Amino acid sequence: MSYIVRPGPFNCIAKRSRPRPRRDPSRERLARRGRYMAYKETFWMACDSTEQMRAEYGPFHTRAEAEEEARKLGFQYLLRYEHIIGENDDIQEVRCVFLELPKQGVRMIRKLHTRCATCGESAVHDEPWQAEVWADIHEFEHSRHRVRLFEQTRAEGLKEIGDWRECA
């Protein structure tokens, strides 16, 4: 029977229930050469909360990809999975690390869609001035055509802006 002396305030001594297994020197040598080394596999997920029941989207190879997708979806967290892979390609350990994304100003992702009511030609724009220029060019090239403007957001979907020519 062997004893272990643990450092601490009272110098506790605990009995070891079974003897320490003998080390195989050939296996240690192979491990030092890198043949039996475990390796870590990391991938990223976008998720909406840290709770057990959560929505996850992914996987992604890089944090930047996951962060970009999380912002598009309106998710507040990233989840990093780390798998420790053993010598027989089996998963020995799984670690989950949640990262909260920094809060940026509430930015509505919106797209502007222009569509000709006469011929059906359409285009998608990021800025209002782009939509106005496209409409002006289209109405100049095609007399008596009328261009309509739509705004698309994740919250409200697609809605028409009725008097957009009078506002400008």
Range 109-145 burial, b when 16+ CB lie within 10 A, else e: eeebbbbbeeeeeeeebeebeebbebbeebbeeeeee
Q: How confident is the model at residue 103, as a pLDDT?
A: 77
Q: How confident is the model at residue 10, as a pLDDT?
A: 40
Name the amino acid, one letter, at 150.
F
Intervals of the chain under pLDDT 70: 1-37, 104-108, 155, 167-168
Compute the C-alpha angle 150/156/160, nearest 5°: 20
Q: How confident is the model at residue 11, as a pLDDT?
A: 40
N-terminal to C-terminal alpha carbon distance within the chain: 90
Q: What predicted TM-score, i.e. pTM, was given to this entire model?
A: 0.44
Domain ranges of the chain: 38-104, 110-167
